[in-house]
Structure 1
Amino acid sequence: MASFPQRGSPLLVASLPPSGGRPRPRREADGLIRSRLKTGDLEPVDIQNPSGQNPSGQTIDGPRHGPAEGVPVSRLVVFLHGLGADGNDLISLAPLLSPLLPGTAFVSPHAPFPCDMAPMGRQWFSLQDYSPAAMHAGAVTATPVLNAFLDAELARHGIKDEQMALIGFSQGTMMALHAVLRRPRPCALLIGFSGALVRPELLAEEVVSRPPVFLVHGDADPVVPFPAMAAAESALNANQVPVRALARPGLGHGIDQEGLEFAAAALRQYLIADADAVSGGDGVSTS
């Protein structure tokens, strides 16, 4: 089993809203998600591609949040939404997390392709074919687009991979796991809700980076089977990728308060410690 690096100190998150502000569940495009934007509003926006690793030329962008005006950016959180949603879905989590993560910019790009199962939404790749080979091929196609976006965001803020965290939901988790573990430099951490590791048997030959990974999955998920989390955890451990997994009893395909608190504590412990170490800061107190 991979050893989990110790950075910062554990923090019990008590400042997330309890009941009235409970995050709403996110669901895939099985008729349960409807985009709040018109299709025309979701067209990709041109961004700089400093890495030159996106031969297709496809570009993406999305809504942003924080930090407060005049506060320099020292950390970046990138949300990757699920099939049939768009970047506006997960960016709604940013106001809940930003008070815990000073100096953090949040961005939630719209996936590059119109969703073939929910035309008002977006997709990272098609799920009309659920075969592992088809999903892997889709992730391979979308990864250069995502990497170009990540490189551009890091350049925009003048920070490094070690100061960036990715948070995925469902298909966004699949994309995050596929792309991040193959980037040249590890990010601070990756958090995946209700997702899966596509073609885990290929990881041994393809893994490059080994950032800490945090997985959360409801055991009543009707969209992405709950055992997908254990399968991902096993493959990550086998390839020396540090991983922690949280099962949520009774939760379907969504994000609940306990899962969000788990993610927030991980962000405080790993993103803040990493970013301060890279930037030479004095650290953020967790007392």
Structure 2
Amino acid sequence: MLDGPRLPPRAGGPATSLVVLLHGYGADGRDLIDLGEYWAPLLPNTAFVSPHAPEPLAIAPVGRQWFGYTERDDRERWTGVQSAQRALDGFLDAELARLNLPGSRLALVGFSQGTMMALHTGLRRTVAPAGIVGFSGIHVLPPARAMAEFDAEIIARPPVLLIHGDLDQVIPPLALPRAVESLQRQGIAVRAHLSNGLAHGIDATGLSLAGSFLTEVLA
């Protein structure tokens, strides 16, 4: 079972919603938990958790990975999100049960590889999350021959906000319009923002946009 740092609702008392923060390749849950502190004034009744990815980083003695990411190609990404989905799904179910919340009170926030996991897992949840935020990521697609099966797997269609830097050299900015197109093709309402002058990271504008989005979908 996954685990990681948690923040209880700032207002005290039971949580009325849950935001799960999914870190990028080579980081761990501590990398994103501060986002909960940033958004807590907007979401005082929300609990935050940032699980450590299930695997130790393959190329270094510290850090975690949702899946191996050495080739960084479509095949590796597709195999990876499929392999890690079960662990993340189980963690989401356990956290919702712990807080006595329905799946509709869940929002997912991912960065980079965490965005890949948020989109892949969130769109396959039996109960659709309230929303998904993805920073600097990719909507992972299968090989063309498997698109029919892929379409059938998409059973949840929450609103999605995607944010990307126009100077990102890790995941090219072209991933943003490609993700928008693929999600819209599935009938998913997508908002997108390209941050000027931003490399592979999260800036103040992105934090503000994501905070407003989370406040809206978890209202």
TM-score, normalization by structure 2: 0.94
Shift of residue 225, structure 1, vs aligned partner: 0.6
Amino acid at match of 2:187: Q
Q: Which residue number in structure 1 is paired with residue 102 of structure 2? A: 160
Residue 84 of structure 1 contacts residue 121 of structure 1 at CA under 8 Å; is this kept in 2?
A: yes
Residue 12 of structure 2 contacts residue 45 of structure 2 at CA under 8 Å; is this kept in 1?
A: no
Shift of residue 114, structure 1, vs aligned partner: 0.5
Cα distance in 2, alignment partners of residues 250 and 112 from structure 1: 33
1:78 aligned counterpart, secondary structure? strand
**Deviation readout 1:24-80 (Å, 9 max, x if unpaired):** xxxxxxxxxxxxxxxxxxxxxxxxxxxxxxxxxxx2100001214742111100000
Cα distance in 2, alignment partners of residues 68 and 269 from structure 1: 18
Residue 215 of structure 1 contacts residue 244 of structure 1 at CA under 8 Å; is this kept in 2?
A: yes
1:247 aligned counterpart, secondary structure? strand
Residue 115 of structure 2 contacts residue 136 of structure 2 at CA under 8 Å; is this kept in 1?
A: yes
Amino acid at match of 2:26: G
Cα distance in 2, alignment partners of residues 248 and 68 from structure 1: 29
Cα distance in 1, alignment partners of residues 89 and 130 from structure 2: 16
1:99 aligned counterpart, secondary structure? coil
Residue 66 of structure 1 contacts residue 98 of structure 1 at CA under 8 Å; is this kept in 2?
A: no
Aligned partner (choices 210, 214, 220) of residue 161 of structure 2: 214
2:21 aligned counterpart, secondary structure? strand
Cα distance in 1, alignment partners of residues 55 and 45 from structure 2: 31
Q: Which residue number in structure 1 is paired with residue 188 of structure 2? A: 241
Question: Are residues 1:268 and 2:215 paired?
Answer: yes
Q: How many residues align?
A: 214
Judged with a 3 Å threshold, the aligned counterparts in structure 2 of structure 1 residues 270 and 69 are, in CA distance, closer, same or farther, namely: closer
Aligned runs of 1:53-64 on 2, under 5 Å?
59-64=1-6
Cα distance in 2, alignment partners of residues 92 and 264 from structure 1: 13
Aligned runs of 1:105-184 on 2, under 5 Å?
105-184=47-126
Residue 20 of structure 2 contacts residue 106 of structure 2 at CA under 8 Å; is this kept in 1?
A: yes
Cα distance in 1, alignment partners of residues 65 and 116 from structure 2: 12
1:211 aligned counterpart, secondary structure? coil
Q: RCO higher in 1 or 2 (8 Å CA, sep ≥ 6)?
A: 1
Aligned partner (choices 198, 220, 224) of residue 140 of structure 2: 198
Cα distance in 2, alignment partners of residues 63 and 220 from structure 1: 30
Q: Which has the larger radius of gyration?
A: 1
Question: Are residues 1:75 and 2:17 paired?
Answer: yes
Identity %: 49
Cα distance in 1, alignment partners of residues 74 and 55 from structure 2: 20
Cα distance in 2, alignment partners of residues 123 and 185 from structure 1: 26
Q: Which residue number in structure 1 is paired with residue 172 of structure 2? A: 225
Residue 43 of structure 2 contacts residue 215 of structure 2 at CA under 8 Å; is this kept in 1?
A: yes
Aligned partner (choices 93, 96, 103) of residue 45 of structure 2: 103
Shift of residue 131, structure 1, vs aligned partner: 2.4
Question: Are residues 1:65 and 2:12 paired?
Answer: no
Judged with a 3 Å threshold, the aligned counterparts in structure 2 of structure 1 residues 68 and 138 are, in CA distance, closer, same or farther, namely: same
Cα distance in 1, alignment partners of residues 134 and 8 from structure 2: 22
Cα distance in 1, alignment partners of residues 100 and 124 from structure 2: 22
Q: Note the aligned Cα RMSD (angstroms).
A: 1.2
**Deviation readout 1:115-144 (Å, 9 max, x if unpaired):** 113320000001112221221111111100
The runs of 4+ residues in structure 1 deviating greater than 6 Å are none
